[in-house]
Amino acid sequence: MLSALLLLAAPFVSAGIVARHDAHHDVSPGQLPTTWYHTDEHPVHKLFKRGPATDGINYAAVGSPTWASAYPRSSPDISQLPQAWTNALSQAVQAGKIPDIPKTTNTPQTNPSYPSGTNPMDPSVCSSTYKCRIPGDTWDAPNGVFGTGFDDGPQPASATLNKFLKANNERATHYMIGVNILNNAGLFTEAFEELENDIAVHTWTHPYMTTLTNEEIVGQLGWTMEIIHNSTGGRLPRYWRPPYGDYDQRVRAVAREVFGLEVILWNQDTEDWSLTTGGTSMGAVNASMHRWLTGPKSPGLIILEHELSDQSVQAFISAYPEIKANGWRTLSQAEIPGGSVYQNEDDDGNVTPNLVGAQVSIAPSSSSSTSSSSASTTGSSGSSTTSTSGSTSASSSTTSTTATGSPTSAAANNGAPSDIVHSLTTILVAIIPALFVLV
Ligand SMILES: *[C@@H]1O[C@H](CO)[C@@H](O)[C@H](O)[C@H]1NC(C)=O
Ligand SMILES: *[C@@H]1O[C@H](CO)[C@@H](O)[C@H](O)[C@H]1NC(C)=O
Ligand SMILES: [Zn+2]
């Protein structure tokens, strides 16, 4: 039981030490949020609900062999999914909440493609890869805001990024890949505990989500939710970003109906993911960033950036002075839609691990309201767009290097082909052991 409290208490400890946006990671007992992001009936309540602190469950220390051994090492085996997840999926399907859209097939170097007869731009499908925007999802930042966020971590390059973010007191959203958390647990803990940055879901092994069955989508999202939840004192991420920005109404509905997840995309792409593969150069990334940062402030910027390589991290570090010099207000991307960053966090940043819920205006899933505006119309400056359609290869796959020798490697580039693009019942006793666990 004591160890069940450790993770709950730990962020408290750390907040005390680091004391930045404490409220953001504060853990407090007592009052519940007045509003919830999802109603009590939402399945996500049951899927990740923790028992009370006295439930006797021991949470293995993040990074320990016991912790790691409970998760898939590579693409989740759908025959091994927790029954509760598949039940939630079945219920959503039966309730007619998951559109019956065929899977895509993907050949390397091309966009995932639908079978003939399925129009990716039809509002009922609305594939982001084909530049269809589903209303209600976040693509743009408010005017004058630079949304800070990084995909594909944690990876070795994250160490440099974390140091820089901390030194500059910047809060960012990290869209993390599940197997990379397994392989780089220390960097995960650093981002969450020490930086108090925001953790979001970027799937377990980084596939094109439209190529997957509903069950495979559940595996990719569910395990990533689980490892984040069990490694952050019970926080349940509210946001996810599809790898390559590839999703449609079906993928979106599975994420939302089963796990309560909402999408954050981007409106500009430096293609920094291809810096290591010759797809772009530091000069080209610098030029694009310069153009956007000195361009119009409406809409604000959500630029696709990666903590994938030293180069991609350097691209952000190099642009940072211009972000500040041009008067952009920086916000962590997960702060942009408004409300809390975790599903079980109230407006004051308090998280109640054994309760999941919250307020959000998730747009109705009615596909009919879909607009098909092109992603690239966001334009700052009419400039460039991110993406030359899908031809740019999006295929390198970077191995997440670690000492564990894990067989998994998370595909790490992102390059979307298109331009889309805590109740801590005041248990101070737990604090001392928590220091052992997490420092
Ligand atoms: C996550 O924590 C729950 C208890 O809240 C436990 O039942 C589950 O086995 C843990 N998952 C893993 C993969 O360790
Ligand atoms: C571009 O590179 C120059 C020279 O290194 C640097 O001063 C500037 O901050 C960079 N700008 C961006 C947006 O990366
Ligand atoms: Zn990615």
**Tell me, what CATH number does 171's domain have?**
3.20.20.370
pTM of the shown model: 0.77
Residue that is written with structure tokens 């990666």 in the block: 306
Could you say which of 25, 45, 306, 422 is catalytic? 306
Whole-number Å distance, alpha carbon 319 to ligand 2 midpoint, is 6
Residue 44 belongs to a domain: no
Q: What was the pLDDT predicted at 107?
A: 85
Helix pair angle (310-325, 158-167), 10° resolution: 20
Residue 31 belongs to a domain: no
Residue that is written with structure tokens 């693509």 in the block: 139
What whole-number distance in Å separates Cα of residue 388 and Cα of residue 342?
34
Task: Give the atom of ligand 2 at the shortest distance from the alpha carbon of 321.
Answer: 9
Task: Specify whether 152 is catalytic.
Answer: no
Residue 423 belongs to a domain: no
Question: Nearest bound ligand to CA 307?
Answer: 3
Instruction: Please tell me the total count of domains within the chain.
Output: 1
Residue 30 belongs to a domain: no
Q: Which two tokens stand for residue 37?
A: 């992001």
What whole-number distance in Å separates Cα of residue 70 and Cα of residue 231?
12
Residue 427 belongs to a domain: no
What whole-number distance in Å separates Cα of residue 239 and Cα of residue 242?
10
Q: What was the pLDDT predicted at 54?
A: 62
Residues whose CB falls within 8 Å of the CB of residue 330, separated by 6 or more in sequence, listed in order: 145, 146, 147, 148, 170, 171, 323
Quote the strand ranges of 54-163, DSSP E. 145-153
294 lines ligand 2 (CB under 6 A): no
Whole-number Å distance, alpha carbon 12 to ligand 3 midpoint, is 30
HSE value, Cβ hemisphere, 13 Å, CA-based, for 252: 30
Whether omega before 115 lies within 30 degrees of 0, making that bond cis, reads: no
Helices (H) and strands (E) in the chain, counts: 13, 8
Residues spanned by the domain of 193: 70-105+116-354+363-410
Residue that is written with structure tokens 């207000």 in the block: 329
Residue 317 belongs to a domain: yes
For each successive 10 residues of the chain (439 residues), what is the average pLDDT? Answer: 37 29 34 43 69 70 95 96 94 96 91 96 97 95 98 98 98 98 98 96 98 98 96 92 97 96 96 92 96 98 97 97 98 93 79 50 37 34 31 33 31 37 30 36
Task: Specify whether 306 is catalytic.
Answer: yes
Q: Are 216 and 268 in contact (CB under 8 A)?
A: no
Q: What was the pLDDT predicted at 53?
A: 63
46 lines ligand 1 (CB under 6 A): no
**Does residue 264 sit in helix, strand or coil?**
strand
What whole-number distance in Å separates Cα of residue 300 and Cα of residue 144?
5
Q: Are 358 and 38 in contact (CB under 8 A)?
A: yes
Question: Nearest bound ligand to CA 281?
Answer: 2
Could you say which of 151, 152, 198, 246 is catalytic? 151
Q: What was the pLDDT predicted at 392?
A: 30
Residue 57 belongs to a domain: no
Whole-number Å distance, alpha carbon 142 to ligand 1 midpoint, is 37
Q: What was the pLDDT predicted at 92?
A: 94
Q: What was the pLDDT predicted at 41?
A: 59
Residues whose CB falls within 8 Å of the CB of residue 18, separated by 6 or more in sequence, listed in order: 194, 195, 196
Q: What was the pLDDT predicted at 199?
A: 98
Q: What was the pLDDT predicted at 204?
A: 98
Q: What was the pLDDT predicted at 284?
A: 96
Beta bridge partners of residue 329, listed in sequence order:
145
Residue 233 belongs to a domain: yes
